[in-house]
Amino acid sequence: MCSHGHHPNIITFSILLDGLCKEGDLDKALTIFKVMENSQLKPNCVVYNILIDGLCKVGRLNDAKKLFYKLFEKGLQPNVYTYSTIIIGLCKKGLLDEAHQVFREMEGGCLPNDCCYNVIIQGFLRHKDVPRASQLINEMVDKGFSVDATTIELIINLSLNDDLILRKLQI
Ligand SMILES: *[C@@H]1O[C@H](CO)[C@@H](O)[C@H](O)[C@H]1NC(C)=O
């Protein structure tokens, strides 16, 4: 592109990074991210989201967390998608306390939507943390949100081994 006099913009970079992340080539994606940081073309929220998602999907949670906290340092505001992504990554690694903390921090600027509620509830259900799942289900329902199909499936799956699950969930 450059040799033909075209200069890549933030959208071309995002497409490139998305492709690299989908191929699992996170090292190359991070190298390009660094190049962007040192150029005029500063990474925006979309770029961060692509990389955080890619890093979580390959299990590189520490790198994903570093980028997540860097967003704040750079004065960028993560959106609900960024939060859901990092919460899914944390839950997958069993870091439920940290996931819960990140979820609670959302109340200071980017309110959780129904998707955020569902992903964190699913994390708690997958790790059989019924009290916290119960609390969040009731909280989301109070806010007018609904549990999604995956959350219901997880509750059904739990109920196959535990007749009292619905009573424990208090729903
Ligand atoms: C529920 O259990 C079935 C059978 O073990 C499994 O295939 C399915 O993936 C489980 N659902 C979820 C959402 O984990």
Give the tens place of pLDDT for each residue, 38-48. Answer: 998 999 999 99
Number of the ligand 1 atom closest to the C-alpha atom of 160: 2
Do residues 86 and 53 make contact, with C-beta atoms less than 8 angstroms apart?
no
Query: pLDDT band at residue 140, thresholds of 50, 70 and 90?
Result: very high
User: Tell me, what's the pLDDT at 3?
Assistant: 74
User: Does pTM surpass 0.85?
Assistant: yes
Number of the ligand 1 atom closest to the C-alpha atom of 154: 13
pLDDT tens digits along 16-37:
999 999 999 999 999 999 999 9
The residue ranges of every structural domain in the chain are: 1-76, 97-171
SS (H, E, C) 57-121: HCCCHHHHHHHHHHHHHCCCCCCHHHHHHHHHHHHHCCCHHHHHHHHHHHHHCCCCCHHHHHHHH
- Identify the CATH class of 1-76: mainly alpha
| Protein residue whose Cα sits closest to atom 2 of ligand 1 | 157
| Protein residue whose Cα sits closest to atom 3 of ligand 1 | 157
Give the closest residue to 125 by CA, choosing from 102, 160, 151.
151
CA of 153 to the centre of ligand 1 (A): 7
| Protein residue whose Cα sits closest to atom 5 of ligand 1 | 157
